[in-house]
Structure 1
């Protein structure tokens, strides 16, 4: 057994202390606080030190990693027991176990495979299982109802958030990851409505299948894949399958458009970098507005504000329509000659920021229309649905135009591609809402 695997097992044992929280009540923080004090000030040599020590710990002569992990768990335990509006104990336990056992699962698969995707899959699978069982254990002690569908959804969401953060940070940053995941799941638990077993099962199968396909086909990096499936899971939990269908259509068709005649686009200098594999920044740039919209919709549904719900549905669909429209216009339009700068209509070389072709514009309009059609049949649009669908189409075209205008004026000089994508999807969301008001 490798030292990293033994260390992961040791952290898993410490994380299991969270299961004592229902019995300890207000003293739920005590076991973790004790471990933190021992790690920081007492254990500086011997078998326990060697078990938990990370490379940097040996240089300092102190178990910084274990102390940080335990302090983060202490903080979450206090949030679950002290404030009037407390973090649910199920969320606290799930968060700690996701980190502890997710890392153990990742280390287990590392002993057999040297692959980033399998490492992340091991983390998410083990974290989801541990987080689900942890929540079930809590309610078996407290006597609250057992809701495996909800527990599994929350655990899977937390494991994906943790895996994404860990892909961008260092192992020593696990305390930051734990606190972030805990706060995020607290919000999810408050916002998400009832979650059925079918909803959880189908959404997990959908996200796993699409995530693996994206990575296997090279349309996304591991971090980009995790980001995409996380967004799909949020869409299902906060909105429903129709929301995920709209996002999945963009991810799938956009990825295929990026790969379409990729070599030809590479020769012309208009191809997406990294062999067309989109990373976290690209996925978030195109989907952050839709994520905010679906969370806003869930909040409006929670407080019962129908107009707010309607506006967020339109904003969500408009942002997705803009992302689809912009992707198809650039990926298809880049294959044709004689592009013109949108601000002056002068001919410019292929690949020039802000350049458009009539073929690309038609492809973009078609992409926006496709998302509007999906929204018409699958989203809870304001009545009449046909008017809302027209507004979404308009929003998609507005977003595509905003991207071209920004590309011709400020992209590269002050804004990066991800920022332009964010503003483009924001333009699509606002465009759909503004177009719907007079209609």
Structure 2
């Protein structure tokens, strides 16, 4: 057994101590955390140090990896005792990261396939989080059978987020993973999604299937695949399958447009890196606003927000219409000659930020109209006027993207920041137009 596997195994055992909180109370849990922290500070060399040390710990002869991990757990524990975080979320999060880590390290002994290792992490993390939550509820005297599907949904969502963060961060950044996963699961638990075992299982099967297909077709990297699966799962459970179809239309059509005349784009120097596979930054830049809208819809539907849930539906559709419009405009319009800067209409080289072509503008309008048409067909609140508003919002967002590209991109904003602000403008434009029409009506 290699050193990383042994270290991950010991960390997993230490994570199991989190069960002391529901077993004996927060004071005992805090005392155990204090003992581990003291030991991590005192041990500076020898076999125990070698067993627990990350490579960077040797420079200062201090187990900083273990210390920061325990401190992150203590921070979550304080939220579970002093705030309203459920104890089951605290325990599930700690076990999720610890045993997911261990499962991945075991698979590293057998394969170099990154997708297999990620799958192993997610499966081990999900199983550990489910077991931890079930044991916590049982110890606290809460009935588990009726909420088991929700616990699986929380565990799977946390596992996907943890796998994504571990893919884009350093291995020693597990404290960031712990805090991020804990906060996400706390939010999802507060939303109290009403879902059954069949719904959760089907949502996982569909999103994982489409996610792997995007990776196999080289339209998404591993991080992009994980981001897409997580977004899809949250969208289906908190919004519904209609929301997922709208989101999927962007990923599918946008991903294929990246491959459109790829050799020509390479020759012009405007092709996406990594053979066109979208990474997590690109996926989040285009879909983060949509995710917030899904969460807002769920919170509004649960009575946590005063707004009507339908307003978040239009914001969601407006952001996706923007993402679709902008992606098609950029990916298809970029292969045509003589783009012009949107602010001055002066001819610029292909790939210049803020450069547009009339062909790109037309296909962008078509992309926004596709999203509007899908929303019209799937959502009863979206009538003909609503569909027109969604299409208009998509074009507004596409235009904002070009204006930001011509003025701020490269100096104050990166590409993902521009995408985020553009989709935000599309979502806001859609919501404002819907409210204006409602007031006039």
TM-score over 0.5 for the alignment?
Answer: yes
Aligned residues: CA RMSD? 2.1
Q: How does 1:130-145 map to 2 (within 5 A)?
A: 130-145=128-143
Is 1:98 the counterpart of 2:96? The answer is yes
Q: Give 2:218's aligned residue.
A: 218
1:398 — aligned with what? 396
1:120 is matched with 118
- Structure 1 gaps of 5+ residues are none
1:127-170 deviation line (CA, Å, top 9, x unaligned): 11111121122222223122221111111111122222222322
* 2:377 corresponding residue in structure 1: 377
Aligned-partner SS, 1:13: helix
| 2:158 equivalent to 1:158 | yes
Structure 1 counterpart SS, 2:350: coil
Return the alpha-carbon distance in structure 2 between the equivalents of residues 202 and 210 of structure 1: 12
Distance 1:78 1:409 in 2: 45
* Deviates most, 61-70 or 247-256: 61-70
| Secondary structure, counterpart of 1:194 in structure 2 | coil
Q: Distance in 1 between matches of 2:305 and 2:383?
A: 19
C-alpha deviation, 1:182, in angstroms:
1.2
Matches within 5 A, 1:24-423: 24-27=24-27, 28-41=29-42, 43-81=43-81, 83=82, 85-146=83-144, 147-303=147-303, 307-379=307-379, 381=381, 385-423=383-421
Classify the secondary structure of the residue corresponding to 2:349. Answer: coil
C-alpha distance 170-408 of structure 1, shift in aligned 2 (>3 A): closer
Please state how far the C-alpha of 1:352 moved relative to its aligned partner.
2.8
| Cα contact 1:157–1:230 (8 A) shared by 2 | yes
CA distance in 2, matches of 1:69, 1:22: 20
CA contact (8 A) 1:313 1:380 kept: no
Are the structure 2 counterparts of residues 320 and 192 from structure 1 closer, same or farther at C-alpha, using a change threshold of 3 Å? farther
Residue 428 of structure 2 is aligned to residue 430 of structure 1: yes
Mapped to 1, the partners of 2:36 and 2:345 lie a distance apart of 67
| SS across alignment from 1:303 | coil
d(CA) in 1 for partners of 2:260, 2:113: 27
CA distance in 1, matches of 2:379, 2:14: 44
TM-score with structure 1 setting the length:
0.92
Alignment check: 8 A CA contact 1:224 1:280 kept: yes
What is the CA–CA distance in structure 2 between the aligned matches of 1:304 and 1:127, rounded to whole Å?
A: 30
Higher mean displacement: 140-149 or 100-109: 140-149
Q: Relative to structure 2, which stretch is displaced further, 105-114 or 300-309? A: 300-309
Structure 1 window deviating more from structure 2 (57-66 vs 329-338): it is 57-66
Q: Structure 1 residues 56, 361: closer, same or farther in 2, change over 3 A?
A: closer
Moved more, 171-180 or 127-136: 171-180
Normalised by the length of structure 2, the TM-score is: 0.92
- Deviations along 1:5-45, whole A, 9 cap, x unmatched? 1111111111112233322123333323322222222x445
Distance 1:304 1:94 in 2: 24
CA distance change for structure 1 residues 372 and 128 in 2, over 3 Å: closer, same or farther? Answer: same
Contact (CA 8 Å) 2:150, 2:193: kept in 1 or not? no
Write the distance in 1 (CA, Å) between the matches of 2:333 and 2:312.
31
Residues 192 and 254 of structure 1: CA distance in aligned 2, closer, same or farther (over 3 Å) = farther
Aligned residues: 434
Aligned residue for 1:437, secondary structure, equals: helix
